[in-house]
Protein backbone atom coordinates (compact mmCIF):
# COMPACT_ATOMS: atom_id res chain seq x y z
CA UNK A 1 0.00 0.00 0.00
CA UNK A 2 1.08 3.58 -0.56
CA UNK A 3 -1.04 4.96 2.26
CA UNK A 4 -2.62 3.20 5.24
CA UNK A 5 -4.99 5.47 7.15
CA UNK A 6 -5.86 4.51 10.73
CA UNK A 7 -9.41 5.61 11.55
CA UNK A 8 -12.39 6.01 9.21
CA UNK A 9 -13.76 9.20 10.74
CA UNK A 10 -14.02 12.58 9.05
CA UNK A 11 -10.27 13.24 8.89
CA UNK A 12 -9.19 9.75 7.83
CA UNK A 13 -11.79 9.45 5.08
CA UNK A 14 -10.98 12.88 3.63
CA UNK A 15 -7.27 12.06 3.66
CA UNK A 16 -7.74 8.72 1.89
CA UNK A 17 -10.02 10.31 -0.72
CA UNK A 18 -7.43 13.00 -1.54
CA UNK A 19 -4.64 10.42 -1.69
CA UNK A 20 -6.75 8.11 -3.87
CA UNK A 21 -7.58 10.96 -6.28
CA UNK A 22 -3.80 11.41 -6.73
CA UNK A 23 -3.51 7.81 -7.78
CA UNK A 24 -2.14 6.56 -4.48
CA UNK A 25 -3.19 3.10 -3.36
CA UNK A 26 -4.91 3.92 -0.09
CA UNK A 27 -6.75 1.88 2.49
CA UNK A 28 -8.60 3.05 5.61
CA UNK A 29 -8.75 0.77 8.65
CA UNK A 30 -11.24 1.11 11.50
CA UNK A 31 -12.15 -1.13 14.42
CA UNK A 32 -15.80 -0.06 14.28
CA UNK A 33 -18.25 -2.07 12.21
CA UNK A 34 -19.06 1.02 10.12
CA UNK A 35 -17.34 4.24 9.15
CA UNK A 36 -18.03 7.75 10.47
CA UNK A 37 -19.88 6.88 13.67
CA UNK A 38 -19.25 10.29 15.19
CA UNK A 39 -20.46 11.98 12.03
CA UNK A 40 -23.75 10.10 12.42
CA UNK A 41 -24.39 11.41 15.94
CA UNK A 42 -23.05 14.90 15.26
CA UNK A 43 -25.13 18.04 15.25
CA UNK A 44 -28.09 16.24 16.80
CA UNK A 45 -28.11 13.80 13.83
CA UNK A 46 -27.88 16.56 11.20
CA UNK A 47 -24.08 17.06 11.21
CA UNK A 48 -22.88 20.63 11.51
CA UNK A 49 -20.35 19.86 8.79
CA UNK A 50 -18.60 23.25 8.59
CA UNK A 51 -18.70 26.87 9.63
CA UNK A 52 -18.44 29.55 6.96
CA UNK A 53 -16.74 31.96 9.38
CA UNK A 54 -13.81 29.67 10.13
CA UNK A 55 -10.58 31.42 11.24
CA UNK A 56 -7.54 30.22 13.14
CA UNK A 57 -8.88 32.19 16.14
CA UNK A 58 -11.68 29.63 16.47
CA UNK A 59 -9.23 26.93 17.53
CA UNK A 60 -7.30 26.18 20.72
CA UNK A 61 -3.74 24.97 20.39
CA UNK A 62 -0.37 25.54 22.00
CA UNK A 63 0.51 27.06 18.62
CA UNK A 64 -2.46 29.17 17.50
CA UNK A 65 -0.92 29.69 14.03
CA UNK A 66 -0.44 26.02 13.20
CA UNK A 67 -3.91 25.41 11.73
CA UNK A 68 -3.74 28.35 9.29
CA UNK A 69 -2.03 26.60 6.40
CA UNK A 70 -4.32 23.55 6.39
CA UNK A 71 -7.44 25.69 6.84
CA UNK A 72 -6.40 27.82 3.86
CA UNK A 73 -5.85 24.72 1.72
CA UNK A 74 -9.35 23.33 2.21
CA UNK A 75 -11.93 25.98 3.02
CA UNK A 76 -15.56 25.77 4.14
CA UNK A 77 -16.50 26.59 0.52
CA UNK A 78 -14.67 23.44 -0.63
CA UNK A 79 -16.72 21.31 1.75
CA UNK A 80 -19.94 23.05 0.73
CA UNK A 81 -19.06 22.41 -2.95
CA UNK A 82 -18.67 18.71 -2.14
CA UNK A 83 -22.00 18.68 -0.31
CA UNK A 84 -23.66 20.38 -3.30
CA UNK A 85 -22.00 17.97 -5.75
CA UNK A 86 -23.81 15.16 -3.89
CA UNK A 87 -27.06 17.15 -3.88
CA UNK A 88 -27.32 17.15 -0.10
CA UNK A 89 -29.72 19.87 1.05
CA UNK A 90 -28.24 22.05 3.80
CA UNK A 91 -28.87 25.29 5.65
CA UNK A 92 -27.15 27.81 7.88
CA UNK A 93 -28.60 27.45 11.35
CA UNK A 94 -26.91 30.30 13.18
CA UNK A 95 -23.49 31.98 13.45
CA UNK A 96 -22.26 30.49 10.16
CA UNK A 97 -23.02 26.89 11.22
CA UNK A 98 -23.90 24.70 8.21
CA UNK A 99 -26.14 21.68 8.84
CA UNK A 100 -27.70 18.98 6.67
CA UNK A 101 -31.45 19.55 6.24
CA UNK A 102 -32.14 15.85 6.57
CA UNK A 103 -29.55 13.55 8.07
CA UNK A 104 -25.87 13.20 8.92
CA UNK A 105 -26.01 9.85 7.13
CA UNK A 106 -25.82 11.83 3.89
CA UNK A 107 -22.32 13.07 4.80
CA UNK A 108 -21.22 9.49 5.50
CA UNK A 109 -22.68 8.37 2.16
CA UNK A 110 -20.84 11.26 0.45
CA UNK A 111 -17.55 10.02 1.92
CA UNK A 112 -18.27 6.42 0.93
CA UNK A 113 -19.04 7.44 -2.67
CA UNK A 114 -16.01 9.70 -2.98
CA UNK A 115 -13.81 6.94 -1.53
CA UNK A 116 -15.19 4.44 -4.05
CA UNK A 117 -14.62 6.85 -6.97
CA UNK A 118 -11.05 7.44 -5.76
CA UNK A 119 -10.37 3.71 -5.50
CA UNK A 120 -9.91 3.79 -1.72
CA UNK A 121 -10.23 0.53 0.20
CA UNK A 122 -12.11 0.51 3.51
CA UNK A 123 -11.63 -2.26 6.06
CA UNK A 124 -13.96 -2.12 9.07
CA UNK A 125 -13.76 -4.39 12.10
CA UNK A 126 -9.97 -4.01 12.03
CA UNK A 127 -8.57 -3.06 15.41
CA UNK A 128 -5.16 -1.51 14.94
CA UNK A 129 -2.73 -3.12 17.34
CA UNK A 130 0.66 -1.74 16.41
CA UNK A 131 2.61 0.25 13.89
CA UNK A 132 6.24 -0.72 13.37
CA UNK A 133 8.77 1.21 11.40
CA UNK A 134 11.25 -0.80 9.36
CA UNK A 135 14.96 -0.34 9.99
CA UNK A 136 16.49 3.08 9.38
CA UNK A 137 16.79 4.29 5.82
CA UNK A 138 20.12 4.06 4.04
CA UNK A 139 20.86 0.38 4.76
CA UNK A 140 21.21 -2.29 2.07
CA UNK A 141 17.43 -2.67 1.75
CA UNK A 142 16.92 1.05 1.31
CA UNK A 143 14.80 0.93 -1.89
CA UNK A 144 12.51 -1.69 -0.39
CA UNK A 145 12.20 0.40 2.77
CA UNK A 146 11.22 3.56 0.92
CA UNK A 147 8.29 1.67 -0.55
CA UNK A 148 7.39 -0.11 2.68
CA UNK A 149 8.45 1.93 5.62
CA UNK A 150 5.82 0.69 8.07
CA UNK A 151 4.02 -2.48 9.08
CA UNK A 152 0.56 -1.99 10.57
CA UNK A 153 -0.71 -4.95 12.55
CA UNK A 154 -4.45 -5.27 13.06
CA UNK A 155 -6.91 -7.83 14.39
CA UNK A 156 -7.57 -8.91 10.77
CA UNK A 157 -4.01 -9.02 9.45
CA UNK A 158 -0.97 -6.91 8.62
CA UNK A 159 -0.56 -4.12 6.10
CA UNK A 160 2.71 -2.76 4.76
CA UNK A 161 2.74 0.89 3.84
CA UNK A 162 4.91 3.64 2.54
CA UNK A 163 2.95 6.20 4.59
CA UNK A 164 0.82 5.78 7.68
CA UNK A 165 -1.74 8.43 8.59
CA UNK A 166 -3.02 8.41 12.17
CA UNK A 167 -6.64 9.64 12.27
CA UNK A 168 -7.90 7.77 15.31
CA UNK A 169 -9.53 10.81 16.94
CA UNK A 170 -9.65 11.77 20.60
CA UNK A 171 -10.81 10.24 23.86
CA UNK A 172 -14.32 11.65 23.96
CA UNK A 173 -17.30 9.26 24.06
CA UNK A 174 -15.39 6.02 24.73
CA UNK A 175 -18.59 4.00 24.31
CA UNK A 176 -18.54 5.02 20.62
CA UNK A 177 -15.14 3.39 20.16
CA UNK A 178 -12.76 6.22 21.04
CA UNK A 179 -9.29 5.00 22.00
CA UNK A 180 -6.00 6.61 22.92
CA UNK A 181 -4.20 4.74 20.14
CA UNK A 182 -3.10 7.88 18.30
CA UNK A 183 -1.50 9.40 21.40
CA UNK A 184 0.20 6.09 22.28
CA UNK A 185 1.63 5.79 18.77
CA UNK A 186 2.94 9.36 18.87
CA UNK A 187 4.68 8.70 22.19
CA UNK A 188 6.07 5.39 20.96
CA UNK A 189 7.68 7.24 18.06
CA UNK A 190 9.23 9.72 20.52
CA UNK A 191 6.82 12.55 19.78
CA UNK A 192 5.55 14.98 22.41
CA UNK A 193 1.85 14.91 23.29
CA UNK A 194 0.21 17.94 24.94
CA UNK A 195 -1.79 16.81 27.96
CA UNK A 196 -5.33 15.83 26.96
CA UNK A 197 -8.50 17.10 28.62
CA UNK A 198 -12.21 16.93 27.87
CA UNK A 199 -13.47 19.97 25.93
CA UNK A 200 -16.87 21.21 24.76
CA UNK A 201 -18.13 19.54 27.91
CA UNK A 202 -20.78 20.41 30.54
CA UNK A 203 -19.43 21.84 33.80
CA UNK A 204 -20.28 20.43 37.23
CA UNK A 205 -21.13 22.69 40.17
CA UNK A 206 -19.58 22.27 43.62
CA UNK A 207 -22.11 20.63 46.02
CA UNK A 208 -23.22 23.97 47.51
CA UNK A 209 -24.13 25.45 44.12
CA UNK A 210 -25.75 22.17 43.06
CA UNK A 211 -28.04 22.49 46.05
CA UNK A 212 -28.90 26.06 45.13
CA UNK A 213 -29.59 25.60 41.44
CA UNK A 214 -29.89 22.06 40.15
CA UNK A 215 -33.56 21.46 40.93
CA UNK A 216 -34.10 24.03 38.15
CA UNK A 217 -32.48 21.71 35.60
CA UNK A 218 -33.85 22.28 32.12
CA UNK A 219 -34.10 26.08 32.46
CA UNK A 220 -32.08 28.08 29.97
CA UNK A 221 -31.28 31.71 29.26
CA UNK A 222 -28.96 33.69 27.02
CA UNK A 223 -25.68 34.68 28.67
CA UNK A 224 -22.22 35.94 27.85
CA UNK A 225 -19.76 33.39 29.24
CA UNK A 226 -16.14 34.42 29.72
CA UNK A 227 -13.31 32.04 30.46
CA UNK A 228 -10.86 33.08 33.14
CA UNK A 229 -7.16 32.65 32.82
CA UNK A 230 -6.85 33.10 29.06
CA UNK A 231 -4.37 35.67 27.78
CA UNK A 232 -7.14 37.57 26.02
CA UNK A 233 -10.63 37.02 27.47
CA UNK A 234 -12.76 34.89 25.15
CA UNK A 235 -16.48 35.61 25.31
CA UNK A 236 -19.41 33.61 24.00
CA UNK A 237 -22.93 35.02 23.78
CA UNK A 238 -25.16 31.98 23.55
CA UNK A 239 -27.61 29.93 25.63
CA UNK A 240 -26.76 28.51 29.06
CA UNK A 241 -28.67 25.54 30.42
CA UNK A 242 -29.00 24.44 34.05
CA UNK A 243 -28.48 20.66 34.32
CA UNK A 244 -29.03 18.24 37.17
CA UNK A 245 -25.32 18.56 38.08
CA UNK A 246 -24.26 21.98 36.85
CA UNK A 247 -24.28 24.01 33.67
CA UNK A 248 -24.36 23.22 29.98
CA UNK A 249 -25.69 24.77 26.76
CA UNK A 250 -23.58 26.22 23.94
CA UNK A 251 -22.14 29.15 25.94
CA UNK A 252 -20.90 26.81 28.67
CA UNK A 253 -19.57 24.17 26.26
CA UNK A 254 -17.58 26.89 24.50
CA UNK A 255 -15.90 28.23 27.67
CA UNK A 256 -15.34 24.72 29.02
CA UNK A 257 -12.61 24.23 26.41
CA UNK A 258 -10.65 27.09 27.97
CA UNK A 259 -11.47 26.23 31.58
CA UNK A 260 -8.85 24.68 33.92
CA UNK A 261 -9.51 23.25 37.40
CA UNK A 262 -9.67 25.95 40.06
CA UNK A 263 -10.53 28.72 37.61
CA UNK A 264 -13.79 30.67 37.55
CA UNK A 265 -16.22 31.10 34.70
CA UNK A 266 -17.83 34.53 34.57
CA UNK A 267 -21.39 34.80 33.36
CA UNK A 268 -23.30 37.88 32.29
CA UNK A 269 -26.80 36.61 32.93
CA UNK A 270 -28.59 39.47 31.21
CA UNK A 271 -26.44 40.60 28.27
CA UNK A 272 -27.15 44.13 27.13
CA UNK A 273 -30.07 44.58 29.55
CA UNK A 274 -30.34 46.99 32.46
CA UNK A 275 -32.52 44.90 34.70
CA UNK A 276 -32.99 47.25 37.68
CA UNK A 277 -34.13 50.18 35.53
CA UNK A 278 -37.81 49.83 36.57
CA UNK A 279 -36.84 50.08 40.26
CA UNK A 280 -35.00 53.36 39.79
CA UNK A 281 -38.05 55.33 38.62
CA UNK A 282 -38.92 57.95 41.26
CA UNK A 283 -42.20 56.45 42.37
CA UNK A 284 -41.29 52.79 41.84
CA UNK A 285 -41.75 50.22 44.59
CA UNK A 286 -38.46 48.95 45.91
CA UNK A 287 -38.86 45.53 47.45
CA UNK A 288 -38.14 41.88 46.73
CA UNK A 289 -41.34 41.50 44.71
CA UNK A 290 -40.44 44.44 42.48
CA UNK A 291 -36.86 43.16 42.01
CA UNK A 292 -38.12 39.66 41.14
CA UNK A 293 -40.57 41.18 38.66
CA UNK A 294 -37.72 43.09 37.01
CA UNK A 295 -35.65 39.88 36.79
CA UNK A 296 -38.61 38.04 35.27
CA UNK A 297 -38.35 40.48 32.36
CA UNK A 298 -34.96 38.94 31.56
CA UNK A 299 -35.22 35.30 32.71
CA UNK A 300 -37.61 32.41 33.22
CA UNK A 301 -39.72 33.15 36.34
CA UNK A 302 -38.29 30.31 38.46
CA UNK A 303 -34.77 31.44 37.79
CA UNK A 304 -35.65 35.03 38.70
CA UNK A 305 -37.12 33.89 42.01
CA UNK A 306 -34.15 31.67 42.76
CA UNK A 307 -31.68 34.47 42.06
CA UNK A 308 -33.55 36.67 44.54
CA UNK A 309 -33.28 33.89 47.10
CA UNK A 310 -29.60 33.15 46.48
CA UNK A 311 -28.33 36.67 45.73
CA UNK A 312 -30.79 39.26 47.12
CA UNK A 313 -29.88 42.97 46.91
CA UNK A 314 -27.93 44.23 49.93
CA UNK A 315 -30.49 47.04 50.37
CA UNK A 316 -32.75 49.31 48.37
CA UNK A 317 -30.56 52.38 47.93
CA UNK A 318 -29.46 53.28 44.40
CA UNK A 319 -25.93 52.10 45.28
CA UNK A 320 -27.17 48.71 46.53
CA UNK A 321 -29.33 48.23 43.44
CA UNK A 322 -26.43 49.18 41.15
CA UNK A 323 -24.32 46.56 42.91
CA UNK A 324 -27.13 44.02 42.45
CA UNK A 325 -27.14 44.86 38.73
CA UNK A 326 -23.35 44.51 38.45
CA UNK A 327 -23.45 41.12 40.13
CA UNK A 328 -25.91 39.59 37.72
CA UNK A 329 -23.73 40.73 34.83
CA UNK A 330 -20.65 39.16 36.40
CA UNK A 331 -21.67 35.99 38.21
CA UNK A 332 -18.44 34.14 38.95
CA UNK A 333 -18.78 30.40 39.35
CA UNK A 334 -15.89 28.09 40.17
CA UNK A 335 -16.96 24.69 38.78
CA UNK A 336 -15.90 21.59 40.70
CA UNK A 337 -15.08 19.84 37.42
CA UNK A 338 -16.48 18.72 34.07
CA UNK A 339 -18.67 15.81 33.03
CA UNK A 340 -15.52 14.21 31.56
CA UNK A 341 -14.88 12.32 28.34
CA UNK A 342 -18.21 10.48 28.59
CA UNK A 343 -20.01 13.74 27.71
CA UNK A 344 -17.26 15.77 26.01
CA UNK A 345 -17.71 16.50 22.31
CA UNK A 346 -13.97 16.68 21.78
CA UNK A 347 -10.56 16.20 23.36
CA UNK A 348 -8.33 19.23 23.76
CA UNK A 349 -4.56 18.74 23.69
CA UNK A 350 -3.00 15.93 21.68
CA UNK A 351 -0.05 15.46 19.36
CA UNK A 352 2.13 18.54 19.74
CA UNK A 353 1.94 20.64 16.58
CA UNK A 354 5.66 21.42 16.97
CA UNK A 355 6.19 17.79 15.93
CA UNK A 356 4.31 18.23 12.63
CA UNK A 357 4.78 20.02 9.34
CA UNK A 358 1.88 22.52 9.14
CA UNK A 359 1.46 22.03 5.36
CA UNK A 360 1.43 18.24 5.25
CA UNK A 361 0.81 17.06 8.86
CA UNK A 362 3.86 14.80 8.50
CA UNK A 363 5.93 14.05 11.59
CA UNK A 364 9.19 15.98 11.60
CA UNK A 365 10.89 13.05 13.34
CA UNK A 366 9.39 10.12 11.47
CA UNK A 367 9.15 10.55 7.69
CA UNK A 368 6.04 8.94 6.28
CA UNK A 369 4.06 9.18 9.53
CA UNK A 370 1.20 11.71 9.58
CA UNK A 371 -1.31 12.85 12.26
CA UNK A 372 -4.62 14.51 11.39
CA UNK A 373 -7.97 15.50 12.92
CA UNK A 374 -8.80 15.49 16.59
CA UNK A 375 -5.71 13.53 17.68
CA UNK A 376 -3.67 16.67 16.95
CA UNK A 377 -3.46 19.53 19.47
CA UNK A 378 -5.95 21.65 17.50
CA UNK A 379 -9.42 21.93 19.02
CA UNK A 380 -12.24 23.89 17.48
CA UNK A 381 -15.08 25.85 19.00
CA UNK A 382 -18.57 24.44 18.94
CA UNK A 383 -20.27 25.09 15.61
CA UNK A 384 -18.75 23.04 12.78
CA UNK A 385 -15.15 24.05 13.42
CA UNK A 386 -13.99 20.59 14.46
CA UNK A 387 -15.22 18.95 11.29
CA UNK A 388 -13.65 21.72 9.22
CA UNK A 389 -10.34 20.98 10.94
CA UNK A 390 -10.82 17.26 10.26
CA UNK A 391 -11.55 17.86 6.55
CA UNK A 392 -8.74 20.41 6.15
CA UNK A 393 -6.02 18.50 7.99
CA UNK A 394 -7.12 15.31 6.22
CA UNK A 395 -6.93 16.99 2.82
CA UNK A 396 -3.44 18.38 3.62
CA UNK A 397 -2.07 14.95 4.49
CA UNK A 398 -3.89 13.32 1.58
CA UNK A 399 -2.12 15.64 -0.86
CA UNK A 400 1.27 14.71 0.57
CA UNK A 401 1.12 11.10 1.76
Ligand X SMILES: Cc1cc2nc3c(=O)[nH]c(=O)nc-3n(C[C@H](O)[C@H](O)[C@H](O)COP(=O)(O)OP(=O)(O)OC[C@H]3O[C@@H](n4cnc5c(N)ncnc54)[C@H](O)[C@@H]3O)c2cc1C
Q: From the CB of 46, what's the least distance to ligand X, in Å?
A: 8
The DSSP secondary-structure symbol of 217 reads: T
Q: From the CB of 123, what's the least distance to ligand X, in Å?
A: 10
| CA gap 121, 150 in Å, rounded | 18
Q: Which member of 3, 12, 108, 291 binds ligand X (CB under 6 A)?
A: 12
Give the count of beta carbons closer than 10 Å to the beta carbon of residue 67: 29
Q: Which member of 83, 373, 391, 392 binds ligand X (CB under 6 A)?
A: 373
Contacts of ligand X in 200-259 (CB under 6 A): none
| CA gap 224, 251 in Å, rounded | 7
Angle, nearest 10°, between helix axes 385-400 and 76-85? 90
Q: From the CB of 31, what's the least distance to ligand X, in Å?
A: 4
Residue nearer to ligand X on the CB measure, 48 or 221: 48
- Beta-bridge partner residues of 199: 346
Contacts of ligand X in 104-163 (CB under 6 A): 127-128
Q: From the CB of 126, what's the least distance to ligand X, in Å?
A: 6
Which of 338, 333, 370, 340 has its CA nearest to residue 355?
370
| CA gap 159, 131 in Å, rounded | 9
Q: From the CB of 137, what's the least distance to ligand X, in Å?
A: 27
Residue 173 touching ligand X (CB under 6 A): yes
Alpha helix locations (H) across 136-205?
142-147, 181-188
Q: Which member of 1, 3, 5, 7 binds ligand X (CB under 6 A)?
A: 7
Residue 345 touching ligand X (CB under 6 A): yes
| CA gap 136, 294 in Å, rounded | 73
Residues 6+ apart with CB under 8 A from 315: none
Q: Which member of 5, 19, 27, 37 binds ligand X (CB under 6 A)?
A: 37
Which residues would be at the binding site for ligand X (CB under 6 A)? 6-12, 29-32, 37-38, 41-43, 47-48, 127-128, 167-169, 172-173, 177, 179, 181, 345-346, 373-374, 384-387, 390
Amino acid sequence: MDVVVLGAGAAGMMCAIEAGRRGRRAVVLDHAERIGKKILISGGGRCNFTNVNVRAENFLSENPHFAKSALAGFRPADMIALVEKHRIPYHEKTLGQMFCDRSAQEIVTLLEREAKDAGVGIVTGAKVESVERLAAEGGPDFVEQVNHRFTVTTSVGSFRARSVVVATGGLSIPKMGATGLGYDLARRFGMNVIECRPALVPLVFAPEEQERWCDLSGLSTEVIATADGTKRPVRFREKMLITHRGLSGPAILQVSSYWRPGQAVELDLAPGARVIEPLLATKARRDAGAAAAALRGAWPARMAERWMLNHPPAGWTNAALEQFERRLHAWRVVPAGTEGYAKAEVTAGGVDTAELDAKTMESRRVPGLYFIGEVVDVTGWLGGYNFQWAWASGASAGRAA
